[in-house]
């Protein structure tokens, strides 16, 4: 018989360890209450008599407690429990101390590559990580049941963001209600922020509000430029009045006011971009911000909105200077450009913006594209109307919601958190037995459900006082002091996400086919996602909580899952022989497929990920082939709700090379021009999981990046 230890290591059963543990507990009770040698031997024989191939160490400890009580040794069983708990505390404490030391020493690959947008060597990030280590420790020991911790450690599920879970007030991601805060005033650290009177001031205030909000949650956040458009008109009217007061002609007043406004928009967007990338939240990083560009959100201020969008795109095309003064691709903010009739029709008034967006994508990998047409087919509200709105951060989408007045509402809503099921583990555990697979899926989805309920219950204890900027001052709500946020967690106002990972490997193992085959593989893959949706629907009906299926962006977890799978099941060709598993429903990065076939296929799976997902294509340098970019954009508009185009725009500080920094067979980055391998002197930007990462990645994600094939070639377009 073999024993699965807490760290996942498998060892042979050692009866002496049970004997020693009971004997140590014996010393804590009087002689009458002690277990005899004969009783200890009976316990040992009982364990052996189970004839199990493997047992978890926790299961053996449970058996010892039960058998001691059967012998009437209640006091001894209590002492054994205390002994067991004490050892657990010591074990966890030692792990925590070791993690903190490795972080501070700066020699841990895990901490140095845990998040591609965090630099673990700077003190602000280290503070966040140290707090996260403590939170994870508390979460594991006190807040989660043992079986969920074990399932997480084994890679059966992933309980996301345990490093923030100890604080019951922190949620995942949101759409910031900038309109409410700007128009009705807000409050930061006890300082009243009144409605600004011009665009330049509004942009400065917006960065402060975004940073404050991002410091009160741990996921991504999104604002829309629509909420800033009215201040463009305010500024124009101020400039116009100034010239009118000078007695100039109407034509002169309008001309000079327009010129001043253009400069003010430039002056407002530039510090916004710089501040978002230079400000640091309490999470030790720049705000994980997405900016929505959706002309269809306004009728009254469409002209002003178009002016802001144009300036954002122009400045993003230019990029931001690195420490050498060279313009490079910044990580933030992520730009979300909504495709609609007015900007997709070549004769449309705003088609010029889409052409500018294409140029920006070719140079800087953003914006990403949301198809209004497709989204309105998929997101139907209670009134039967199709809705279009941005994701929260990189990919998490709210479900349609209508308020008490019958109006659609999205800004001010949020996601409660995520738990992800490892589909590959369920497949491998079934040993290709379909009946067993579906049974395991039911069991593991209920495990995810239990973990999600724990997330929900912990958040439901929060009151508005824990994050006033969110709950009292308009970012998400206008609750009273001390008021519970409980109502905002029900009725569809917020979502909670059932994530999934590794659909390709799951399908490949179970059917022998990729889910791209348009046959048995695809049918099975769609059935798996349909099960997840059915479960969410069932849970929502029972609890009035908006569970939603989410294509998880497993940045560092892809490496963890891969290592666990290899340890648990060995190396299986095409399934566990890499350092990563495939994100969500994606076509595997190494599979040859053209851009349009990939997007069309993935659109069917994206439909079954209503809680969020994003598709992408890999492309070469397209800066001299914008027609190809426009062709892809047109295809996105007609076929898929949300997608992005990945290009390369790296820089070597040592020799000045611009292009693609490469990865060798040892998964080390190097400049193909001069051979430079110093990460500190390489500026590399890659799409990691929706966001652009710029601080390098762990071995699993690096291998995945290296193996990405091109889906579009310059000669194909």
Tell me the C-alpha distance between 438 and 454, whole Å.
24
**Of 297, 555, 602, 704, which residue is the catalytic one?**
555
**Of 79, 392, 441, 671, which residue is the catalytic one?**
392
**Of 135, 172, 464, 603, which residue is the catalytic one?**
172
Contact yes or no for 173/200 (Cβ under 8 A): no
Contact yes or no for 415/398 (Cβ under 8 A): yes
Burial class (CB in 10 A: 0-12, 13-18, 19+), 165: buried
* Tokens representing residue 395 in the block: 């990919």
Which residues pair with residue 299 across a beta bridge? none
Count of other CB atoms within 10 angstroms of residue 102: 16
Calculate the dihedral angle through the C-alpha atoms of 26, 30, 32, 35, rounding to the nearest 10 degrees: 0
Three-state DSSP class for 328?
strand
- Annotated catalytic, 26? no
- Annotated catalytic, 173? yes
**Of 690, 691, 693, 695, which residue is the catalytic one?**
690
- Cα–Cα distances in angstroms (integers) from residue 154 to residues 160, 317, 405, 549, 652, in the given order: 14, 44, 47, 22, 40
- Annotated catalytic, 430? no
Q: Which of 697, 612, 489, 645 is nearest to 220 (CA)?
A: 612
**Of 396, 430, 603, 676, which residue is the catalytic one?**
396
- Annotated catalytic, 690? yes
- Annotated catalytic, 448? no
Q: Is the dihedral of CA 655, 660, 664, 666 positive or negative?
A: positive
Reading phi first (left if > 0) and then psi (alpha if -120 to 50, else beta), residue 272 is in alpha
Burial class (CB in 10 A: 0-12, 13-18, 19+), 686: buried
Burial class (CB in 10 A: 0-12, 13-18, 19+), 53: exposed
Q: Which of 189, 185, 180 is nearest to 216 (CA)?
A: 189
- Annotated catalytic, 655? no
Q: Please, what's the b/e burial string for 326-361 (b: 16 or more CB within 10 A of its CB; e: otherwise)?
A: ebbbbbbbbbbbbbbebbbeeeeebeebbbbbbbbb
Q: Which residue has the tokens 């002056």?
A: 267
Contact yes or no for 523/497 (Cβ under 8 A): no
Tell me the three-class secondary structure of 543-608, residue by residue: HCCEEEEEECCCCCHHHHHHHHHHHHHCCCCCCCCCCCCCCCCCCCCCCCCCHHHHHHHHHHHHCC
**Of 415, 579, 584, 683, which residue is the catalytic one?**
415
**Of 320, 344, 365, 394, which residue is the catalytic one?**
394
**Of 129, 350, 411, 550, which residue is the catalytic one?**
550
CA angle 616-423-557, nearest 5°?
65
- Annotated catalytic, 506? no
Tell me the C-alpha distance between 646 and 643, whole Å.
10
How much helix, strand and coil, in percent to the nearest 5, is found in the chain?
50, 15, 35
* Tokens representing residue 441 in the block: 């899926």
Element housing 706 (H / E): helix 699-706
Cβ neighbours of residue 266 closer than 8 Å, sequence gap 6 or more: 311, 315
- Cα–Cα distances in angstroms (integers) from residue 273 to residues 177, 207, 326, 409, in the given order: 19, 9, 16, 27
Tell me the C-alpha distance between 138 and 140, whole Å.
6
Largest CA distance in the chain: 108
**Of 26, 99, 164, 173, which residue is the catalytic one?**
173
For the chain, report the end-to-end CA distance as a whole number of angstroms: 60
CA angle 6-61-90, nearest 5°?
55
Q: Which residues are marked as active site?
A: 172-173, 392, 394, 396, 415, 550, 555, 690
């Amino acid at each position: 018989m073999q024993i699965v230890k807490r760290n996942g290591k498998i060892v042979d059963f050692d009866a002496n360890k049970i004997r020693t543990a009971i004997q140590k507990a014996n010393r804590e009770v009087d002689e009458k209450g002690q277990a005899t040698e004969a009783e200890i031997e009976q316990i040992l024989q009982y364990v052996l008599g189970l004839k199990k191939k493997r047992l978890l160490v926790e299961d053996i400890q449970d058996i010892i407690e039960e058998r001691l009580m059967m012998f009437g040794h209640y006091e001894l069983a209590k002492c054994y429990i205390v002994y067991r708990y004490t050892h657990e505390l010591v074990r966890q404490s030692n792990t925590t101390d070791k993690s903190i030391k490795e972080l501070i020493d700066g020699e841990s690959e895990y901490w140095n590559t845990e998040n591609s947008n965090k630099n673990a060597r700077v003190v602000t990030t280290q503070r966040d990580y140290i707090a996260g280590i403590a939170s994870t420790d508390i979460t594991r020991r006190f807040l989660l049941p043992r079986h969920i911790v074990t399932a997480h450690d084994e890679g059966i599920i992933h309980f996301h963001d345990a490093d923030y879970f100890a604080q019951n007030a922190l949620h995942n991601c949101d759409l910031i209600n900038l309109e409410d805060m700007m128009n009705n005033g807000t409050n930061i650290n006890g300082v009243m922020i009144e409605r600004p009177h011009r665009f330049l001031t509004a942009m400065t205030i917006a960065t402060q509000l975004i940073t404050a909000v991002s410091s009160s949650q741990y996921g991504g956040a999104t604002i829309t430029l629509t909420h800033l458009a009215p201040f463009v008109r305010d500024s124009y009217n101020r400039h116009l009045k100034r010239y009118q007061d000078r007695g100039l002609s109407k034509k002169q007043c309008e001309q000079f006011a327009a010129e001043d406004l253009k400069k003010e928009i430039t002056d407002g967007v530039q510090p916004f971009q710089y501040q978002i990338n230079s400000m640091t939240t309490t999470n030790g990083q720049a705000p994980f911000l997405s900016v929505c560009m959706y002309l269809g959100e306004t009728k009254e201020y469409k002209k002003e909105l178009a002016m802001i969008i144009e300036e954002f795109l122009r400045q993003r095309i230019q990029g931001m200077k690195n420490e050498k003064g060279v313009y490079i691709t910044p990580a933030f903010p992520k730009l979300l450009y909504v495709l609609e009739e007015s900007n997709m029709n070549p004769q449309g008034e705003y088609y010029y913006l889409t052409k500018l967006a294409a140029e920006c994508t070719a140079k800087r990998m953003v914006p990403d594209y949301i198809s209004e047409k497709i989204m309105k087919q998929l997101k139907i509200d209670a009134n039967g109307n199709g809705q279009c709105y941005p994701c929260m951060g990189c990919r998490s989408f709210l479900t349609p919601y209508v308020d008490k007045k019958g109006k659609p509402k999205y800004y001010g809503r949020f996601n409660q958190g995520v738990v992800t099921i490892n589909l590959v583990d369920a497949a491998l555990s079934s040993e290709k037995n379909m009946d067993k697979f579906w049974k395991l899926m039911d069991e593991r989805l209920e495990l995810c459900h239990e973990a999600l309920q724990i997330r929900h219950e912990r958040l439901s204890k929060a009151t508005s006082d824990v994050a006033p900027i969110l709950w009292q001052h308009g970012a998400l709500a206008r609750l009273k002091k001390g008021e519970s946020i409980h109502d905002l967690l029900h009725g569809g106002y917020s979502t909670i996400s059932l994530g999934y990972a590794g659909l390709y490997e799951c399908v490949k193992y179970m059917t022998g086919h990729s889910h791209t085959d348009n046959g048995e593989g695809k049918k099975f893959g769609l059935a798996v996602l349909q099960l997840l949706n059915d479960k969410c629907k069932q849970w929502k009906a029972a609890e009035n909580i908006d569970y939603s299926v989410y294509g998880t962006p497993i940045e560092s977890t892809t490496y963890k899952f891969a290592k666990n799978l290899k340890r648990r099941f060995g190396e299986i060709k095409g399934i566990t022989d890499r350092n990563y598993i495939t994100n969500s429903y994606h076509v595997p990065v190494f599979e040859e497929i053209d851009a349009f076939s990939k997007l069309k296929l993935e659109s069917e799976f994206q439909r079954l990920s209503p809680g969020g997902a994003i598709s992408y294509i890999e492309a070469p340098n397209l800066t001299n082939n914008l027609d190809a970019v426009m062709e892809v954009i047109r295809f996105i508009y007609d076929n898929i709700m949300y997608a992005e185009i990945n290009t390369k725009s790296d820089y070597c500080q040592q020799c000045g090379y611009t292009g693609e920094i490469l990865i060798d067979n040892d998964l080390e980055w190097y400049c193909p021009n001069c051979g430079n391998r110093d990460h500190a002197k390489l500026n590399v930007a890659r799409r990691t999981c929706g966001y652009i990462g710029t601080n390098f990645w762990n071995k699993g994600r690096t291998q995945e990046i290296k193996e990405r094939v091109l889906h579009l070639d310059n000669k194909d377009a």
